Structure 1
Amino acid sequence: MSRFSEVKDLVSGLEADFEKFYEKENQAAGTRVRKGMQDLKNLAQDIRKEVQDMKNAG
């Protein structure tokens, strides 16, 4: 479950930047949102691979 916690922490950490970008049109916050979403994508891919490996091993 720690992997799920990583996902939740990453998403919740981006909340302030989402608000700054969409509500206040802060461009730097948009850059941070894009980076955070890329990190989320990479984390999700790692988790998918881990789940697939565990499934195939078991």
Structure 2
Amino acid sequence: MKELIEKITAEFENFKTEADAQAEKGNKAAGTRARKSTLALEKMLKEFRKTSLEATK
């Protein structure tokens, strides 16, 4: 589970960097990369939820 949390943290940092580039500099390609990161984060967060629920049983 620790490895999954590290992956989520790294992906969120990537998202933050790309989203900031789009918002501050108007970089359209960064916006595309940020949206791609959100899809990856969604999958990882669902996996975290599943893993977390199993761990509490």
Where on the TM-score scale, by shorter chain, does this alignment land: which range?
Answer: 0.7 to 0.9
Unaligned runs of 5+ in 2: none
Equivalent residue number for residue 30 of structure 1: 31
Give the TM-score normalised by structure 2: 0.80
Give the TM-score normalised by structure 1: 0.79
**RMSD of Structure 2 on Structure 1 (CA):** 1.3
Greater relative CO, 1 or 2 (CA 8 Å, sep 6+): 2
* Cα offset, 1:31, TM superposition: 0.9
Where in structure 2 are the equivalents of 1:39-54 lying within 5 Å? Answer: 39-54=40-55
Where in structure 2 are the equivalents of 1:15-26 lying within 5 Å? Answer: 15-26=16-27
Q: In terms of Rg, which structure is larger?
A: 1
User: Structure 1: how far apart are the matches of 2:15 and 2:54?
Assistant: 29
Identity %: 23
Equivalent residue number for residue 6 of structure 1: 7
